[in-house]
Amino acid sequence: MNSAPESGPAVIAVRSEKFHRWRSRKDTLARRVIGLGGLVVIAAVLLILFYLLFVVAPLFLPASISQSSIGAKPEWADGSTIYLSLEEQQQVALRIDRNGSAEFFSLDGLGILETHVIPGDGSTLIMASSDQGNSGLIAVAFDSGKVNLLKHDYETDYSAGVELRTIIPSLNFPYGDAPHNLMPGGGIAGLALSDNEFELVLAAAGAGGRVRLEWSTKQENFLSGEITLDTTIKTLDTQFEITAITVSDDHRWLYLGDDQGRIHFLRTADMQQIQSVQVSDTAISSMSMLLGGISVLAGDAGGRITQLFPVRDEDNEYRLEAIRHFESGQAAINRIISEQRRKGFLAVDEKGKLAIYHSTAGTLVLEQQLDHGLPAALALAPRASGLLVINGDGGTDFMEIDNEHPEVSFSSLWQKVWYENYSQPEYVWQSSASNNTFEPKFSLAPLAFGTLKAALYAMLFALPLALAGAAFTAYFMSPGLRRMVKPTIEIMAALPTVILGFLAGLWFAPFLEENLAGVFALLLFMPVGLLVFAWFWTQAEWRIKDYMKEGWEPVLLIPVLVLFGWLSIELAGPLQNLLFDGDLRHWLSREAGISYDQRNAMVVGCAMGFAVIPTIFSIAEDAIYGVPKSLSNGSLALGATPWQTLVRVILPTASPGMFSAVMIGLGRAVGETMIVLMATGNTPIMDWNLFEGMRTLAANIAVEMPESALNSSHYRILFLAALVLFLFTFVVNTGAELIRQRLREKYSSL
């Protein structure tokens, strides 16, 4: 018998010392480069975080005020000033005294620039009221009951250069210099003025509860441009003592405050009282209209300010509602001055305490005691960045106000707010409008809700397909078919999301609207059809089964899927006629009260789910495929079926990687921008309705950031939205990593 040849000794390759040193250097270099790359990534993330915090931080900085004396005029003492106004550049002011003199003076040294005499009947001026629309029109009342209208304007002269610009004031009488006999017999106790393009309204309250309103319609001569007034006088005698009066900017409503703490709501068209609202136990001491002329601010003798505005009730009738209260102190509110550019206002009480509020935020922004007590007169700059104060001794102070973002508070960002012209408190995002009187609505709640809604529907669509596909591909599919399927699905991740959004918005959304019943029929018929086909496949003795290799069965399902998809669309019409009166969308609206928008959450869920499926599939498939074959073979050897092995051995072992895939997919869905931007109506609503749209944080930033003013509240709130998105993904990813580590420890012994 031939013996096996003896093998020689094994030859062992010996590496040189130089080779080992070179390999050690390469390993060290690679380790340091990889570590440095990781540190750079961490530093970049932290830099993004710090930059977001840097931009957002000013939103929450407290307001401040600094006071300085700019001079004194003894002749301005003893309450001789009845009106004070400050122009926008804060260089020139207008002062009107009781003797009928209107003086423009410079804040630099209090030098008099111009002096005008207001025409009258020789009596003394007792009060003045400015137009609530900030047109520069002023009504001044004499103790005889007559009222004169004058208007102050300012022009800027740049002839000497931008740095040496000169403010040129002017005073004119746009409706003539003849006084209006508003309250015959005198005794004006309150005065209100409102002017717009078509109408002029003057209202006065007198002693004994008498109200007299002068409503003038403007007639403009198209040749000369001269304006004439067609005036109607309306009067009313009340049974209460009037302490304050004001009129809305649209001239529909008249508000009267009385000595019993009530606000009386009247219709100006017929001077009929609609309602009386008890807002205080003490007398109403001051009233003013908020910017826009919708809300009325009523200060009482107890130091509280109440905001009210008309709200439509169930019968579509207007009712005056007390919306919110602002507590100032124990002293009576002496005057309320509304800001000209924002929904903020300033109040001064009888003890000289100054307070600045913002109505939408519902907050006290700033509070300070004035050094000289109750001022004789004060004027707020148009931009609310400066306050001019004339004290009782004639001394004049100027106060610089740093109050950039008063509209931001926790309640205005995250809680329901009762906005003007709304019937109840709501979550609303509406950052801009076409006019200056608009009330910005910066609620982030509907944007955060829309982000979660879009991500939820996307994950509901993507997770079953991605995870089930990953499990089948990694465990059951033949290697040859897997080599084609896996790269194909991974290439899908390279599709630009703008293309997916384009297809979703312009093709899939109209298709879904026209074939809604067919899509739902597809969800019904497809699983049933696949189960029936699978049963026949296992029971029938078909020759094709002899040629079908194990793991290639999904190829047979392609024509089955196409067939049942076609049948679902074709049978949708008869099903709609049978069950839904011919139109599923109309039936949902009529019978179930479910509205339907063409670009809705279902469109977004499918499109965004299509975008995240490749990411989830690839990571989950790698995790399942990476489970050692020894585990599955051991399970099968012990008698377990392939499905039992998959469910009880393979999936638990791969669960850390699968969980990571789900979290990465969720992060992708939360941060997606272009798909939700193009496939939804971008309406910031809070509704789980599958057929309604939404607006997400990311899409809102993309839409509104280009149009926001640099460093404005709108600009910084958009950065706050980005910070919220950043923190949300950070918390989710951190939590996901912790859970993944726990899963790895739990199933590491398998």
* Per-residue model confidence as pLDDT tens digits over 98-118: 988 999 999 988 889 999 998
* pLDDT tier, 83 (very low <50, low <70, confident <90, very high otherwise): very high
pLDDT in tens, 241-276: 999 999 998 899 999 999 999 999 999 988 899 999
Say if residue 750's pLDDT is above 70.
no
Instruction: Give the span between the Cα atoms of 679 and 370, in whole angstroms.
Output: 56
Give one DSSP letter per residue of 306-336, joined into a string. Answer: EEEEEEE-TTS-EEEEEEEEEE--SSPEEEE
pLDDT at 418 over 90: yes
For the purposes of burial, counting CB atoms within 10 Å of the CB of 300, is it exposed (0-12), middle (13-18) or buried (19 or more)?
A: buried
Q: What mean pLDDT comes out for the span 572-588?
A: 80
pLDDT at 544 over 80: no
Q: Among 355, 364, 352, 361, which Cα is nearest to 337's?
A: 355
**pLDDT exceeds cutoff 60 at 9:** no
Average pLDDT value for residue range 352-371: 91
Q: Which of 417-421, 603-607, 746-750 has the lowest mean pLDDT?
A: 746-750
Q: Are 56 and 720 in contact (CB under 8 A)?
A: yes
- Show the CA angle centred on residue 47, arms to residues 41 and 50, nearest 5°: 145
Confidence of residue 445 (pLDDT cuts 50, 70, 90): very high
Q: Residue 714's pLDDT is what?
A: 92
Confidence of residue 284 (pLDDT cuts 50, 70, 90): very high
pLDDT for residue 1 is more than 50:
no
What pLDDT, on the 0 to 100 scale, is given for residue 678?
Answer: 86
The residue type of 287 is: M
Of the candidates 93, 196, 202, which has an alpha carbon nearest to the alpha carbon of residue 146? Answer: 202
Lowest mean pLDDT: which of 54-58, 107-111, 140-144, 516-520?
A: 516-520
Tokens 């009738």 locate to 317
pLDDT digits (tens, 9 = 90+) for 464-512: 999 999 998 888 888 888 888 888 888 888 888 888 888 888 898 888 8
Residue 396 and residue 71 in contact, taking contact as beta carbons nearer than 8 Å: yes
| Rounded-to-integer distance, Cα 399 and Cα 526, Å | 74
Domains and CATH numbers, the chain: 445-514+594-747 (1.10.3720.10)
- Region 425-449: mean pLDDT is 87
pLDDT for res 687 = 86
DSSP 8-class letter at 649: I
Q: Report pLDDT digits (tens) over 319-356.
A: 999 999 998 778 899 999 999 888 999 999 999 899 99
Residue range 381-402: mean pLDDT, rounded: 90
Distances (CA, A) of 630 to 412, 639, 654, 704, 749: 59, 14, 14, 56, 13
CA distances to 33, 35, 47, 161 from 41, rounded to whole Å, are 12, 10, 10, 50
| Tokens 């003038």, residue located | 216
The whole-chain average pLDDT of the chain stands at 87
pLDDT of residue 10: 53
Measure CA 546 to chain center.
64
The CA–CA distances, whole Å, from 740 to 50, 456, 546, 661, 664 equal 28, 21, 44, 11, 12
